[in-house]
Amino acid sequence: METLTASKSQIKVPDKFVYYFAAGEAEGNAGMKNILGGKGANLAEMTAIGLDVPPGFTISTDICTHYSAEGNKIPDWVKPKVLEALKRVESKIGKNFGDVKNPLLVSVRSGARASMPGMMDTILNLGLNDQTVEGLAASSKNPRFAWDSYRRFIQMYSDVVMGMNSSLLEVTLEDLKAEKGVHNDTDLDTEDLKKLVKKFKSMVQQMTGHSFPADPLEQLWGAVAAVFRSWNTPRAVTYRELHSIPSEWGTAVNVQAMVFGNMGDDSATGVAFTRNPSTGEKKFYGEFLVNAQGEDVVAGIRTPQPISQLQEVMPAAYSDLERNYLKLETYFKDMQDIEFTIERGKLWMLQTRNGKRTAKAALQIACDMMDEKMISEQEAIMRIDPASLDQLLHPTLDPNSKKTLLAKGLPASPGGVCGQVVFTPEEAVEMKEKGHKVILVRVETSPEDIAGMVAAQGILTSRGGMTSHAAVVARGMGKCCVAGCAEVEVNYNTESFKAKGYVVKKGDIITLDGGTGEVYLGEVKTIEPKLDGTFTRLMAIADKMRRLKVRTNADTPKDAKTAREFGAEGIGLCRTEHMFFGEDRIDAVREMIVSDTKQEREKALAKLLPMQRDDFYQLFKIMEGFPVTIRLLDPPLHEFVPHSDSEIAELAKRIKYDENRLKHKIHSLHEFNPMLGHRGCRLAITYPEIYQMQVRAIAEAASQLVGEGMKLIPEIMIPLVATAKELEILRQQTIEVVEQVQKEKKVKFDYLVGTMIELPRAAVTAHEIAHHADFFSFGTNDLTQTTLGLSRDDASRFLGSYVTGGIFAKDPFVSIDQVGVGTLVKTGVDLGRQTKGQLKVGICGEHGGDPDSIQFFENVNLDYVSCSPYRVPIARLAAARASISRKKG
């Protein structure tokens, strides 16, 4: 493998890195996302299929890496090629960059491989200066438009490229409006804007120490550099972490001739989806603003009109748009998210990309497109992000519960949640850490709010549409969001909001219904989700396509039932210790623990036997003959005993034990590193009678069910094995007990004895261990802790800076560390099967429900994954996708 850092000498200069596009002349295409970014590739493709796209060119993603490697500098060899492409744009459009009479203006936009909405910075109207603005005024015959474009450009450029605090110019603008007694930017006239531009430029000089660049080329290089630089801003880094986008990918830069949606009332700009991104309904869906630039829609500053109204306002342009969107969807065979601008009645397509959607919409669209013969079953499966199913499995509000409606906004992202109101992302994070559920309430959100959005149960905004930042990001996260809820008057100063006469303060509880856009006062009862036909249909297809079996981790009949309903094909991990905590038995467990002799221990264990037998009987029964893997006692014994003096005193009374001796006993169980202590099979090596009782309970329960006519094959699993010898000894003891019970009960049944592979030593000696194991189950939680030397309970205080610092791409407890822990998993599988070719191998850590990890487990040939009941559908879908991806290579 290669080192992670790129240094100058290691990166090859690419042969081609500037790709021109204009009607019929695209040098790139949709397949070149890796080097052109999503936006650039699709611009090229749209051009190629004959849509009207303003001409331009894309600087490839490689240059982003070169830019970083050269210490944030555009390499000298890049510039000539850029100028060459710029020339082609000039001659295509018949305007020249920097021309004082009829100047070419360009937009400069980022475009990474994966869509990163709102994350990267964009510059519009680039090329304006005191001379060219006059040319634009003359050529457009609209001086107000020209000067408004100029002041917008200065605002954007000084913020994004020159690093100036943009609110200073914003305030100046607001001051001017206040001075003139007007409310909207559009109320300012040309003279106002000229004044503003002058003021802006002097403020830039004052605040940054540099004059605002008048040379269009200097502007261009500055903007290109800013796009590359913005790849590594903290907010971009956070987004990448959240979406597992490698930092090496880099962003491309798209330079494109400007078209203007703000040239008057015959101009407009808008965004739209070819289908409803929230429900999946097959209906054109979107929003537009007359006399505006694109940023005005996305930023949510003015509330836009629904796309259907465009038909009335500009029928010809709408008809072109309709033709285009149908063409694009047919061409890309997926729901498209498009951006357009209408300049003086002419429609220009600015962007198309596969649209983000809710899980519900994704299922609906996939099913509809299969029915429309647009996509195959396999493609349908690949269209659904398994993690997004979580949304469908989340509770919704109980329609029968009493509610106090506070307000109604846009149903931006589904789900029903309640929590305490907070007004800043920092508070959201803080409260979450203290264990509170919170709702983040904002006028509107921006990329700076992402950490708070992650921490919150749901998001409520008072401004912005269905495609506002809050809405798009929340849908991506599968998080409940009500957006554009204008009835809600937010006051950050008093930390409260008003709605329908109520005043809701910080800390008060509200409930959101992301499916309807409704906001309620107080807590509203929620109900479990029901899954509709599209879910069932796609799951059936997924099941047909996957190789990996999906089991569940379940310790209780309730969990087991839920998992069966979600399609679990057995229990991969039943943690018997969870059964030890029942009120009716914990004291017997404690008696066993504080026993001084084997006889005392056996007496206490005898009390537990019938209870454990009943536990297992029920689980076996619910699983109806599906395999059930029971892990014998794993945690250190001190986890079962009380530690405070008063609790110890009470326990001593209850179990009739000397209090001081009990204290001493309990104290002697203390461990420095319990994770690495006297636990798992080590307990059974020192106290064989514990596992013997558990095995007897399993065998007796199985005997009973066999007697009742059920067929079952219990799988008995020995945890924390480090050496073959441990398993050899404990396997032998297990077999003796089962055979004894079979003799007593006069029944025969098959059973397996296997082991967890959860220590590095077990993985590297799996060939020895396999001699004594009927199956392996990777315990990747503990394997991660030991392989990384990282305690899950203690890591929180630095894991954050590890993910932020790029040391871990993802939290290794959430998604398996493939390079480190994964290598040991692969070693364990390969060595185990070297000894026993057909060894059954599964995984039962938290990673069993994580799609990326499931792909890894598919690739290393595990037989099954096991995960929590609610993640079973996710795992089924992820397993199908993993099979498909693997076959594709």
Give the residue with the Cβ less far from a copy of itself, 503 or 764: 764
Q: At closest approach, how far in Å is the CB of 835 from a copy of itself?
A: 9
Give the residue with the Cβ less far from a copy of itself, 354 or 723: 723
Question: Which two structure tokens, joined as six digits, stand for 827?
Answer: 């070693």
Q: At closest approach, how far in Å is the CB of 725 from a copy of itself?
A: 4
* Region of 125 on the Ramachandran plot (φ > 0 left; ψ -120 to 50 alpha; else beta): left
Q: Is residue 678 at the binding interface for a copy of itself, with CB under 8 A as the rule?
A: yes
Q: At closest approach, how far in Å is the CB of 311 from a copy of itself?
A: 54
Give the residue with the Cβ less far from a copy of itself, 521 or 843: 843
Give the residue with the Cβ less far from a copy of itself, 535 or 687: 687
Considering only 729, 735, 747, 814, the residue that binds a copy of itself (CB under 8 A) is 729
Q: Is residue 565 at the binding interface for a copy of itself, with CB under 8 A as the rule?
A: no
Q: How far is 601 from 599, CA to CA, in rounded Å?
A: 5
Q: Is residue 688 at the binding interface for a copy of itself, with CB under 8 A as the rule?
A: no
Residue 597 burial class via C-beta count within 10 angstroms: exposed 0-12, middle 13-18, buried 19 and up = exposed
Considering only 9, 400, 673, 838, the residue that binds a copy of itself (CB under 8 A) is 673
Q: Is residue 760 at the binding interface for a copy of itself, with CB under 8 A as the rule?
A: yes
Give the residue with the Cβ less far from a copy of itself, 266 or 639: 639
Q: Which stretch in 51-59, 125-133, 346-354, 678-686 sits in contact with a copy of itself by CB under 8 A? A: 678-686
Q: At closest approach, how far in Å is the CB of 719 from a copy of itself?
A: 11
Query: What residues from 309 to 338 belong to the interface with a copy of itself (CB under 8 A)?
Result: none
Q: Is residue 185 at the binding interface for a copy of itself, with CB under 8 A as the rule?
A: no
Q: How far is 44 from 57, CA to CA, in rounded Å?
A: 9
Question: Which two structure tokens, joined as six digits, stand for 119?
Answer: 């994350």
Question: Which two structure tokens, joined as six digits, stand for 398?
Answer: 């109980």
Give the residue with the Cβ less far from a copy of itself, 471 or 666: 666
Query: What residues from 2 to 61 belong to the interface with a copy of itself (CB under 8 A)?
Result: 3-5
Query: What residues from 204 to 233 belong to the interface with a copy of itself (CB under 8 A)?
Result: none
Q: Which stretch in 111-119, 414-422, 646-654, 752-760 sits in contact with a copy of itself by CB under 8 A? A: 752-760
In degrees and rounded to multiples of 5, residue 707 shows phi and psi of -60, -30
- In what helix (H) or strand (E) does residue 413 lie, and over which residues does it extend? strand 410-413
Considering CB under 8 A, how many residues would be counted as binding a copy of itself? Answer: 58
Q: Is residue 758 at the binding interface for a copy of itself, with CB under 8 A as the rule?
A: yes
Considering only 685, 710, 735, 752, the residue that binds a copy of itself (CB under 8 A) is 685
Sketch the per residue contact string, 791 through 810, with a copy of itself: x for CB under 8 A, - otherwise.
x-xxx-xx--xx--xxxx--
Strand partners, 106: 126, 257
Of the candidates 859, 777, 867, the residue with the CA atom closest to the CA atom of residue 823 = 859
Radius of gyration of the chain (CA): 32
Q: How far is 197 from 205, CA to CA, in rounded Å?
A: 12
Q: Say which of 66, 394, 469, 638 is annotated catalytic.
A: 469
Q: Is residue 72 at the binding interface for a copy of itself, with CB under 8 A as the rule?
A: no
Q: Determine contact, residues 572/552, Cβ cutoff 8 Å.
A: yes
Alpha carbon distances (Å) from 197 to 129, 185, 201: 10, 14, 6
Q: Which residues, in sequence order, are CB contacts of 543 under 8 Å at separation 6+?
A: 567, 876, 880
For the chain, how many residues are written?
Answer: 889
Q: At closest approach, how far in Å is the CB of 817 from a copy of itself?
A: 7
Of the candidates 71, 813, 874, 92, the residue with the CA atom closest to the CA atom of residue 539 = 874
Q: Is residue 492 at the binding interface for a copy of itself, with CB under 8 A as the rule?
A: no
Considering only 596, 672, 708, 746, the residue that binds a copy of itself (CB under 8 A) is 672
Q: Helix/strand/coil (H, E, C) string of 201-260?
A: HHHHHHHHCCCCCCCHHHHHHHHHHHHHHHCCCHHHHHHHHHHCCCCCCCEEEEEEECCC
Q: How far is 791 from 798, CA to CA, in rounded Å?
A: 11
Q: Is residue 493 at the binding interface for a copy of itself, with CB under 8 A as the rule?
A: no
Question: Which two structure tokens, joined as six digits, stand for 710?
Answer: 């059920």
Q: How far is 121 from 539, CA to CA, in rounded Å?
A: 39
Considering only 293, 692, 786, 853, the residue that binds a copy of itself (CB under 8 A) is 786
Considering only 787, 815, 868, 883, the residue that binds a copy of itself (CB under 8 A) is 787
Considering only 824, 867, 875, 879, the residue that binds a copy of itself (CB under 8 A) is 824
Considering only 179, 209, 530, 819, the residue that binds a copy of itself (CB under 8 A) is 819
Rounded to the nearest angstrom, the gap between the alpha carbon of residue 273 and the centroid of all alpha carbons in its chain is: 22
Q: At closest approach, how far in Å is the CB of 190 from a copy of itself?
A: 51
Question: Which two structure tokens, joined as six digits, stand for 427?
Answer: 């508070």
Question: Which two structure tokens, joined as six digits, stand for 494?
Answer: 């008093």
Quickly tell me which residue has 């480190």 as its tokens. 820
Q: Determine contact, residues 250/61, Cβ cutoff 8 Å.
A: yes
Sketch the per residue contact string, 618 through 657, with a copy of itself: x for CB under 8 A, - otherwise.
----------------------------------------
Q: Is residue 180 at the binding interface for a copy of itself, with CB under 8 A as the rule?
A: no
Q: At closest approach, how far in Å is the CB of 822 from a copy of itself?
A: 9
Give the residue with the Cβ less far from a copy of itself, 655 or 790: 790
Give the residue with the Cβ less far from a copy of itself, 265 or 793: 793
Alpha carbon distances (Å) from 778 to 389, 766, 836, 841, 883: 25, 11, 16, 8, 20
Q: At closest approach, how far in Å is the CB of 2 from a copy of itself?
A: 8
Question: Which two structure tokens, joined as six digits, stand for 210?
Answer: 């540099």
Rounded to the nearest angstrom, the gap between the alpha carbon of residue 697 and the centroid of all alpha carbons in its chain is: 42
Give the residue with the Cβ less far from a copy of itself, 1 or 746: 1
Give the residue with the Cβ less far from a copy of itself, 90 or 768: 768
Quickly tell me which residue has 């503003």 as its tokens. 196
Q: Helix/strand/coil (H, E, C) string of 780-836?
A: HHHHHHHHHCCCCCCCHHHHHHHHHCCCCCCCCCCCCCCCCHHHHHHHHHHHHHHHC
Considering only 748, 771, 886, 887, the residue that binds a copy of itself (CB under 8 A) is 771
Give the residue with the Cβ less far from a copy of itself, 306 or 805: 805
Residue 354 burial class via C-beta count within 10 angstroms: exposed 0-12, middle 13-18, buried 19 and up = middle
Q: Is residue 675 at the binding interface for a copy of itself, with CB under 8 A as the rule?
A: yes
Q: Is residue 823 at the binding interface for a copy of itself, with CB under 8 A as the rule?
A: yes
Of the candidates 456, 444, 530, the residue with the CA atom closest to the CA atom of residue 483 = 444
Q: At closest approach, how far in Å is the CB of 749 from a copy of itself?
A: 25
Considering only 233, 537, 674, 833, the residue that binds a copy of itself (CB under 8 A) is 674
Query: What residues from 699 to 728 belong to the interface with a copy of itself (CB under 8 A)?
Result: 720, 722-726, 728
Q: Say which of 64, 574, 844, 867 is annotated catalytic.
A: 844
Q: Which stretch in 288-296, 696-704, 782-790, 838-846 sits in contact with a copy of itself by CB under 8 A? A: 782-790
Give the residue with the Cβ less far from a copy of itself, 99 or 728: 728
In degrees and rounded to multiples of 5, residue 471 shows phi and psi of -65, -45
Question: Which two structure tokens, joined as six digits, stand for 428?
Answer: 């959201």
Neighbouring CB atoms inside 10 A of 364's CB total 23
Q: At closest approach, how far in Å is the CB of 820 from a copy of itself?
A: 4
Q: Is residue 583 at the binding interface for a copy of itself, with CB under 8 A as the rule?
A: no
What angle do helix axes 143-160 and 190-208 make, rounded to 10 degrees? 20
Active site residue 844: yes
Question: Footprint of a copy of itself on this chain (CB under 8 A)?
Answer: 1, 3-5, 671-678, 682, 685-686, 720, 722-726, 728-729, 758-761, 764-765, 767-768, 771-772, 782, 785-791, 793-795, 797-798, 801-802, 805-808, 817, 819-821, 823-824
Q: Which residues are catalytic?
A: 469, 844
